[in-house]
Copies of this chain bind each other. A is one copy, B any other.
Amino acid sequence: MSIGVPLPPGSTIGIFGSGQLGRMLTLAAARLGLKTHIFAPTGPDSPAAQVAQTYTQAEYEDLDAVKAFAENCDALTYEFENVPAETAKVAAHCKPLHPSAACLNVAQDRLTEKLFISEKAGVPVAPFEAIDSKEGLKRALQNLGGSCVLKTRRFGYDGKGQMIIRTEADIEQAWDKLGTQSVIAEAFIPFVREVSVLCARGADGQTAAYPLVENVHQNHILHTSIAPAPRDMGRAKELALNIMQALDYVGVMATEFFELEDGSFLVNEIAPRVHNSGHWTQDAGCTDQFEQHIRAVAGWPLGNPNPKHGVVMTNLIGKDANDWKALAREENSFLHLYGKNEAREGRKMGHVNRIVPTS
């Protein structure tokens, strides 16, 4: 099913997942007079369920619940890429699901993703090899230049499900840890910086691209996004739009790149959803990524992606959020908290957008 006319105010967008992304999608939808219905196995006090108009608590594998949920909505989307394929299929059979089940399929598996990006979209990725044995990993290590990153094909995030292999001696330990899953080996890329591009694409093929963002990670978790990134030749944006076009993508998509010393880009991965590296858009004087995604999913025209000033976004991870009083006092900052109670280590509790003075 696809979207025809724009959904009128009062319509309901169904969202799989009840984390902070679903929460911010819900708040953006409410601004436009649209409602959301959250579907997730987590409790009613989870971040998105707290603010949504309707909430279904059920397992993603409960296809009867999925069907009832989808029937109750006017359009469907998700806040995370690990929605099971069968769930997406059942949902998409009832109501328009965007990004499509085909996009999910590509993004859920690193091997499928890299093959699609490099072969179908013609966009460069780091050299990689599918691995199915310890011996295969040894051969790949030589082919990939003597060091590589071993990554699980599915369910990796924030550095989970990956290990760096610097020499042959590291193979044993890496294989013990990850070898029971489907894995790929990627060449170890000596990048200058990690950047990402956030673009939206409407059902009519209209696109809106935000400026390039430079990302700084700490402990494999995004720490800071600097937007717009200091140097932006526009090339990364073009590559990201090529991928979206090849996917016939509808919604907001994040594309993470490694920028190399010669100024060229390799795609690291795509996220078929709103993304942490786009949180800065909320306080940049443009249409933010959450409203943009809702607009695309509801068949509305896309909004303006051009920021009026720079923003540095910093995640509040675990106990960082305990500083809320001091952060609330900062003069040119906007504080966003996700309604989570427990400040567990590594847990994203909120973020702060600091306006960069225009010189």
Binding site for B on A (CB under 8 A): 6, 8-10, 23, 27, 30-33, 35, 50-51, 53, 283, 285, 287, 295, 300-301, 303-304, 308-309, 321, 324-325, 328-329, 331-332, 334-341, 350, 355
| Minimal Cβ-Cβ distance residue in B for A9 | B337
- Complex CA gap A30/B300 in Å reads 25
Which residues on B sit within 8 Å (CB–CB) of A332? 304
Contacts known (A285-B309, A304-B331); A341 close to B31, Cβ less than 8 A: no
Sample of 15 further A-B pairs with CB below 8 A, known A31-B336, A304-B331: A9-B339, A23-B30, A30-B50, A32-B328, A32-B335, A33-B339, A35-B50, A51-B53, A283-B285, A300-B325, A301-B325, A301-B329, A303-B328, A308-B308, A308-B355
CB distance from A331 to the nearest CB of B (A): 5
Which residues on B sit within 8 Å (CB–CB) of A53? 50-51
- Interface residue from B8, B285, B337 paired with A33 (Cβ < 8 Å): B337
Once the chains bind, are B337 and A32 in contact (CB under 8 Å)? yes
Once the chains bind, are B301 and A328 in contact (CB under 8 Å)? yes
User: Quick one: copies of this chain in the complex?
Assistant: 2
- Complex CA gap A259/B33 in Å reads 36
Which residues on B sit within 8 Å (CB–CB) of A339? 9-10, 30, 33, 35
- Complex CA gap A283/B31 in Å reads 12
Once the chains bind, are A295 and B33 in contact (CB under 8 Å)? no
- Complex CA gap A341/B11 in Å reads 11
CB distance from A50 to the nearest CB of B (A): 6
Which residues on B sit within 8 Å (CB–CB) of A328? 6, 32, 295, 300-301, 303
CB distance from A305 to the nearest CB of B (A): 11
| Minimal Cβ-Cβ distance residue in B for A332 | B304
CB distance from A345 to the nearest CB of B (A): 18
CB distance from A353 to the nearest CB of B (A): 11
| Minimal Cβ-Cβ distance residue in B for A30 | B51
CB distance from A19 to the nearest CB of B (A): 14
Q: List 14 A-B contacts (CB under 8 A).
A: A6-B325, A6-B328, A9-B337, A9-B339, A10-B341, A30-B51, A31-B335, A32-B328, A51-B51, A283-B285, A285-B308, A295-B328, A303-B328, A308-B308
CB distance from A4 to the nearest CB of B (A): 13
- Complex CA gap A50/B334 in Å reads 25
